[in-house]
Amino acid sequence: MPRFIIEREVPGAGQMSSDDIHSLSQASCAVLREMPAVQWVHSYVTDNKLYCVYIAPDEAAVRAHAEQGGFPANAIQTVRRVIDPTTAE
């Protein structure tokens, strides 16, 4: 199944409290319980954005999750390959 990187513009994301992050995560998981074909892998939090890694059947499913949860999905990119230092070996 395809993997996606979702860029979410969330001003002040890096300063969010643990409680705020917890609530945001709970909201996402609540939507995902109704979307068994979509899996949230993990997210990276930067100063003003979240970069989320999802596994889903298609981009439309990723967008549906964002819409149902009220989350921004400013850019969605399909992961074509994963590389790391072992790729050079």
Whether pTM > 0.75 for this model: the answer is yes
Q: Which domain holds residue 83?
A: 3-88
User: What is the tens place of the pLDDT at every residue in 64-79?
Assistant: 999 999 999 999 999 9
- What is each CA distance from 26 to 8, 20, 40, 57, 59, in whole angstroms? 17, 10, 12, 22, 22
User: What is the tens place of the pLDDT at every residue in 1-35?
Assistant: 999 999 999 999 999 999 999 999 999 999 999 99
Q: Decide if 7 contacts 49 (C-beta within 8 A).
A: yes
Mean pLDDT of the chain, nearest integer = 97
- Longest CA–CA span in the chain (Å) reads 43
Query: How many domains does the chain contain in total?
Result: 1
Which among 47, 50, 59 is positioned nearest to 4, based on CA atoms? 59
Dihedral over alpha carbons 30, 35, 40, 43 (to 10 degrees): -60
CATH of the domain at 74: 3.30.70.3090
User: What is the tens place of the pLDDT at every residue in 41-67?
Assistant: 999 999 999 999 999 999 999 999 999
